[in-house]
Amino acid sequence: MSLIQPLSWRYATKKFDDAQKLTTEQLQELLKATQLSPSSYGLQHYKILIVEDKAIREQLREAAYGQSQLTDASQVIVFAAETGINEEYIKDYINQIAQERGVSREDLKSFEDSMLGIISHQTGDQIIAWSHKQAYLALGVLLTAAAEMGIDACPMEGFNAVKFDEILGLKEKGLTTSVIAPIGFRSEQDDYAKFAKVRKPDGNLFIHI
Ligand SMILES: Cc1cc2nc3c(=O)[nH]c(=O)nc-3n(C[C@H](O)[C@H](O)[C@H](O)COP(=O)(O)O)c2cc1C
């Protein structure tokens, strides 16, 4: 099925209908699609929080400059980047591959060494930047899957990440807020749904070489 129609239908939803919630099945399918996002080496350098708690969402709204999507959407999805991609993290991943693919750790040694080599040459900040990139990729998969399912979403980075980390207790979990996406269904009063899409014309976007 062509994705052009759903991607044209979707928009960054400003006003959600707070009476409409995703069904359990819709939420599960959307999360499953997001779980299938590719990531560098497959390390999935993030965790994904599904925030439903009303009181927490009120606090998050305040830390997101009052943006109403935080409280009115069905759920708020928070992509939280891993801050500590280290030897242990990689070892756990290699163990998982060995188990799920039925191969020996020895067979995976060159792959493991390649990842260990990468992290040994990176500063802590570079590793966090690497994690953020992967989180944004997962956001893209979520937005595309949501559009295909007729679910509205708003990608957002208009929030105070330090406050989000505090409210969600992320620092102690080795995480930091990357980007968020409230999901749900648009309000009929959201004029943004009617706005024409503004995108670079082909000649200014695509460079065929
Ligand atoms: C990473 C990212 C951060 C964004 N942050 C916000 C935000 O904080 N609040 C908001 O209302 N829209 C936000 N947007 C929505 C963009 O303004 C919107 O995607 C863009 O104008 C294109 O319009 P469309 O998504 O409706 O097609 C963000 C989009 C992206 C991709």
Q: pLDDT digits over 145-191, tens only? A: 999 999 999 999 999 999 999 999 999 999 999 999 999 999 999 99
Between CA 7 and CA 2 the distance in angstroms is: 9
Ligand 1: does its nearest atom lie under 6 Å from the Cβ of 200?
Answer: no
Q: Which whole number is the average pLDDT over 135-147? A: 98
Q: Which helix (H) or strand (E) holds 48?
A: strand 46-51
Q: What is the pLDDT of residue 91?
A: 97
* pLDDT band at residue 1 using 50, 70 and 90 as cut-offs: low
Give the pLDDT confidence score for residue 165 in this predicted structure: 98
Give residue-wise pLDDT tens across range 4-63.
Answer: 999 999 999 999 999 999 999 999 999 999 999 999 999 999 999 999 999 999 999 999
pLDDT at 198: 98
Return the residue whose CA atom lies nearest to atom 9 of ligand 1.
156
For residue 5, what are its two tokens? 């129609």
**What is the spatial distance between Cα 20 and Cα 200, in angstroms, rounded to a whole number?**
34
The residue to mutate among 4, 157, 177, 178, having the most atoms of ligand 1 within 8 angstroms of its beta carbon, is 157
**Ligand 1 neighbour 12 (Cβ under 6 A):** yes
pLDDT classification of 126: cutoffs 50, 70, 90: very high
What is the pLDDT of the chain when averaged over all its residues? 98
Task: Tell me if 30 sits within 8 A of 22, measured CB to CB.
Answer: yes
Percent of the chain with pLDDT over 70: 100
Asked if residue 85 lies in contact with residue 131, where contact means CB atoms within 8 angstroms, the answer is yes
3-class SS of residue 37: coil
Give the sheet arrangement for strand 75-82, strand by strand.
46-51, 75-82, 175-184, 152-153
**This model's pTM is above 0.85:** yes
Per-residue model confidence (pLDDT) at position 107: 97
The SS3 of residue 35 is helix
Confidence of residue 99 (pLDDT cuts 50, 70, 90): very high
155 Cβ closer than 6 Å to some ligand 1 atom: yes
pLDDT at 65 over 80: yes
Residue closest by Cα to atom 27 of ligand 1: 11
